[in-house]
Structure 1
Amino acid sequence: MAERGKTVRLFFIEGTPTGRMKCELSNWTGVAYRIPHTMISKCTDRKELNNTGVYFLIGKDEDGITDKIYIGEAENVLPRINQHIIAGTKEWQDWTDCVIFVNKDDALNKAMVKYLENALYVLAKKANRCTIYNGNTPTKSSLSETDETEMLEYLDNLRLLMGAMGYKFLEEMESVPHKDNNGQLLTLKSPKSTYEATGKVTEDGFIVFKGSKITNDIANSFNKYGYCALREKLIANGTIVNFEFVKDYLFSSCSAASSVIQGHNTNGWIEWKTKDKRTLTDIMRETSE
């Protein structure tokens, strides 16, 4: 059967894209709300937010680039979000937005949302696109065959709406061939052989391939924030071992990738080159002519 398009409706409650947003999928009883941290107190006008559901707290990691998330569930979601705020230093406070999923008819029960919480944690962990703040893997509840089938469909719709809102941390990175296809493979090499890397532009950003080597020389201007912090995190979490990528890694941009590899802030659009020495800027000019 051929795949059909889907209709997603976005409603900006305050009339601006920076305020609260309601997100719905046609012919589905689920509904998502994206709410800035500063607007949680305004949400008493949304009664369905007191239903049973799952939620994400979303912010940025210490590098200021990588998403950091907390995944939770509750029988009364909005009061649970308020508990996060009231708890102060006992809970993570540096999130900027939360995304809540509930059913309009309040058909979800505790076992269902525990199942969803576990599944979402596993998806985010496998995708490896963000830092997960949960201390432990959420417990997976046991469901009947019919309820599990329903929750798997709920997960599919949830992921679709998360993507529509611009969040990709539940989506596993697609495998990208390391071989060169029509000059798509890009290299970054030091004249003194202190680093050597290969990668490709993808729809999601820029992927650096396993086996790429980074420099061990850090510029004094490459401070502890931004790309330097990202570099330190990749070393700490085992993505880079002995100055070498031990697995493919997706960066948000080509400049993030080149800066981590070269140990100072760089412009990836001119640093990454094809085997015939064309830069990414050259390629963009060629495709736009």
Structure 2
Amino acid sequence: MSQRPQTIQIYLPGGDPRGVRVAELTTRIVQVLEVPRSLLGEFLKMPESKQVAVYFLVGQGNDAEDPKVYVGQTSDLPMRFRSHNQEKDFWERALVVISRTQSFTQTHTLFLEWWSLQEAKKAGRYITTNGNNASRPFTPAPLEADCYEIYDTAKTLLATLGFPLFEPVKPIEPASEGLEMLFLKGSGCDGRGYYTEEGFVLLADSTGRRESVQSIKGTADERFRERFIEAGHFVVDGDKVTLTKDHIFRSPSRAAVALLGRTANGWNEWKNAAGKTLHELKRVTAEPDELS
């Protein structure tokens, strides 16, 4: 994603920030509409629903389950969305990419659908639910160049709305972003991760206990760990589990529970190489003499 300053406008057609939202870069023709599933009927009354579009159906998941996405394109959004509403259970929001000047053709959206699906799979942040991989559609070179620009704009707008479909989970250059490696040791665990603005990123190959301790048997914490294993995030090897790929948790405590198999305060469990806790690193107010 471009790191240059940009101005993004978000319009609320119904005045409700939790309702339909329309995002656009003020100098571009691309718009992204975020539509809660409960307001699908309202969206289908809007003129924007009559346009040629590429769209994403998103289910955000939780700490135990990866979010999911379906990538599609159509010149008949009402028909496709009514069908998806009847047949697909997982999605909570539709993200619709259109042109303010109504200049998208089906050639544009066919290429954007194919390219977006490849990029979403490459990023690995969302599980793609499309039944097939599709083949690259024939696209004239000038139009293909336009599609890449449309994609770049849509990628920025989607992330701004809270849907980084094409952003890999793992920080590529942690040091350059001021991220410090954190560790969790003991009780059969060897965890590594980062605390980021999105949550706690637990790194692949971190290991933990297979069995939960008796005190959390039958609780939400044990059920969360079992769902995490069932989802394939952990590979079980005897009394140990190993994380298969980087995973974002909404809190450092959730990441600690996943590894330790017991109730845990992640702010105290996670420490840097010098032994300082995450609490000390991020929450403790600096002493006055340190500010002088």
- Which bin holds the TM-score, normalised by the shorter protein? 0.7 to 0.9
Q: Given the alignment, which residue of 267, 282, 285 partners 1:284? A: 282
- Partner amino acid, structure 1, of 2:275: K
CA offset at residue 50 of structure 1? 1.2
Contact 1:231 1:260 (C-alpha < 8 Å) held by counterparts = no
Q: Deviations over 1:102-150 (max 9, x none)?
A: 1123222222211111111112111111222222213321211101110
Q: Given the alignment, which residue of 161, 166, 178 partners 1:170? A: 166
CA distance, structure 2, for counterparts of residue 228 and residue 35 of structure 1: 32
Alignment match, 1:145: 141
Q: Given the alignment, which residue of 197, 205, 209 partners 1:203? A: 197
Q: CA RMSD in A?
A: 2.8
Structure-to-structure mapping, 1:1-289, within 5 angstroms: 4-61=4-61, 66-85=66-85, 88=86, 91-173=87-169, 174-176=171-173, 184-190=180-186, 192=187, 194-219=188-213, 220-223=217-220, 225-235=223-233, 240=235, 242=237, 243-286=241-284
Alignment match, 2:290: none
Contact 2:64 2:231 (C-alpha < 8 Å) held by counterparts = no
- Partner amino acid, structure 2, of 1:254: P
Change (3 A) 1:245 1:96: closer
Change (3 A) 1:24 1:170: same
Q: Deviations over 1:140-175 (max 9, x none)?
A: 212111011100000000001001111112112332
CA offset at residue 185 of structure 1? 2.6
Please report the TM-score for the alignment, with normalisation by the length of structure 1.
Answer: 0.84
Structure 1 gap ranges (5+): none
Structure 2 gap ranges (5+): 288-292
CA offset at residue 279 of structure 1? 1.5
Paired-residue identity, %: 25
Contact 1:227 1:265 (C-alpha < 8 Å) held by counterparts = no
CA distance, structure 2, for counterparts of residue 252 and residue 138 of structure 1: 33
**Which is worse superposed, 124-133 or 278-287?**
278-287
CA offset at residue 65 of structure 1? 5.5
Question: Which secondary structure does the structure 1 equivalent of 2:207 belong to?
Answer: coil
Contact 1:255 1:269 (C-alpha < 8 Å) held by counterparts = yes
CA offset at residue 231 of structure 1? 3.7
CA distance, structure 2, for counterparts of residue 47 and residue 163 of structure 1: 24
CA distance, structure 1, for counterparts of residue 160 and residue 66 of structure 2: 19
CA distance, structure 2, for counterparts of residue 53 and residue 283 of structure 1: 46
- How many residues are paired up? 277
